Amino acid sequence: MILLPAIDLKDGKCVRLQKGEFDTVHQVADNALDTAAAFAAAGAEWIHMVDLDGARNGLRRNAAIVAQVAQNAGLKVELGGGIRSMADLEEIFSLGVERAVIGSAAVSDPDFAAQAAEKYGEHIAVGIDCLDGRVRTAGWEKDSGLDGIAFAKSMAAIGVKVIVYTDIATDGMLSGPSFAQLEHLAESVPCRIVASGGVTTLADVKRLRDMGLYGAIIGKAYYAGTIDLPQAMKECNIC
């Protein structure tokens, strides 16, 4: 299983939110490149980045920072936030991004998601962000009315290979992942699943690994010091 320590960007700053609520935003690091370098030093090969400005209003104000990390940190960058067209994808991949996460646009424009998956394969993921089992969009602020599992099945049917699944209720809460939902999802679709939200302890990492998931994102747990990243990386390399 791969681990993806995370950096969320808003107005050029490294921040975290609780349950995706923008009024809980707080800065957690001074410099994205230095933080990414620390991830690499701990043994990480990937980094998960979210452009919160892009996710909320489609304005990608943080492209220069993403490019700096992608080109200088020695990590593969997975990026989400405000990706709504093939032109957006071309721009993002030109920054050096390894995998792009399509969120709200996969709900509003599944044909775009299908086209992206066909062209870019596993360099595309669909982000499915759920609250009480229903898919949320627009930076988690809107209820799409779609069931998360049913939507995941529809994405698998159009060729999506990777799903980043977030249970919004656990995100940034240091409460543990939604293991039952992740297990149900993994049983329902053939996609590679990246767990996001609530990963707090080494025990969480081990359990996700033993479930056979493809990946897990570590966010607030790193900044709060509840997880030893080098040790977690070692556990993920145990088959």
Q: Point out the residues that are catalytic.
A: 8, 129
* SS3 category, 208: helix
User: How many helices (DSSP H) and strands (DSSP E) are in the chain?
Assistant: 11, 12
Cβ neighbours for 178, distance < 8 A, ≥ 6 positions apart = 167, 169, 170, 197, 198
Give yes or no for a contact between 3 and 232, defined as CB atoms under 8 angstroms apart. yes
Structure-token match 């992740």, residue found: 182
Residue 55's H or E segment, with its range, is: helix 52-57
Q: What are phi and psi of 28, to 5 degrees?
A: -120, -10
Give the integer Cα–Cα distance in Å for 149 and 93.
Answer: 29
Separation of CA 183 from chain center: 18
